[in-house]
Amino acid sequence: MKNTFTFLSIVFAAMLFIGCANGKQGSSEAMQDPWDEQWGENPDTFTTPDLNWLSLRGHVKSMVMNGRARFELDRDGKLTYLSLHGLTLDDMTRNAEGQIIKVTNLETANTEDVVIFEYGYDERGFLEYEARFMPDGSHYHRYELDRLGNVRTGNFDFQKGKKELHAVELYKYPEIDAHGNWTKLIITKNCEIEPELVLTREIEYYEDIK
C-alpha cells in the first residue's frame, strides 16, 4: 500500500455466503457474492484520481452531496469546481500521481477553526485511509475495500483530550445507479459519535461519452 495522503468522505457490510447449487459440493454453478451483485453486471470502469477521491466511477459531470456540497468535473475526470464550507481547489495538495493527499483551510459549519484532512490510497489508487485533524481532537478512518474500491467496513479511531475510542463502521448502500455509483449510503458504528450517518448523492454524467 502507498501511504500517500486523499478526501472525503463515504455501504453495507454484507455477509459472504459460500455454498453449492442444490446443496451439492462441486456444482458447476458458482454462488454469487450478494455484495458484488448489488453493483450491477457492468459497472463503469473509468476512474481517475479525482473520481477515486470522491468514490465515483464513470464520466461524471457533477455530484451534489446531501443537497449542499457540489463537485464538478471535466470530461477527463478532473475536478474543476467544488462548493464545500469555503473549500477551493487551491486548498488541495497533490502527489506526483495527481492524487489529493491533503486538504487544508476547510471551515466547519459551526466554527472558523482550520481543519486538516489527509488521505491515503491502496496500490490500485482507491481511497483507503483518511485522517481529520481539528483543534480539539482527531479522527482516523481505515477502510476495507471491495474489488471496485467501495468501502465494506471501516475502522474508526477518535481522540479528544484524554478521551479515546475505537469503533467498527458498517456501510450499507440501499440505492445504486446504473453506472455502479451509490446514491444513498448509510454508515453505522457502535459508538456515541455519529452512530448513524446518512448520505445522498445526485450524480450527472456526460451522456455523450460511452
User: At residue 200, does pLDDT exceed 90?
Assistant: yes
- In this structure, are residues 85 and 93 in contact, taking their beta carbons and an 8 Å threshold? no
Q: Which residues contact 29 (CB under 8 A, 6 or more apart)?
A: 21
C-alpha cell at 209: 461519452
Entry pTM: 0.79
- pLDDT at position 112: 58
Closest to 131 measured CA to CA, from 146, 121, 122, 141: 141
The cell for 99 is 492524487
Can you tell me the distance from the alpha carbon of 203 to that of 148, in angstroms, rounded to the nearest whole number?
Answer: 18
pLDDT score recorded for residue 65: 95
Mean pLDDT, all residues of the chain: 81
- Across 80-85, average pLDDT: 88
Mean predicted confidence (pLDDT) in 1-27 = 35
Mean pLDDT across the stretch 177-198? 87
The predicted model gives 159-178 an average pLDDT of: 90
3-state secondary structure of 162: coil
- Between 62-76, 94-108, 123-137, 146-160, the lowest mean confidence (pLDDT) is in 94-108
* Cβ neighbour number for residue 68 with a 10 Å cutoff: 10
Check the CA dihedral 98-102-103-105 and report its sign.
negative
Which residue blocks in the chain are alpha helix, DSSP H? 34-37, 49-53
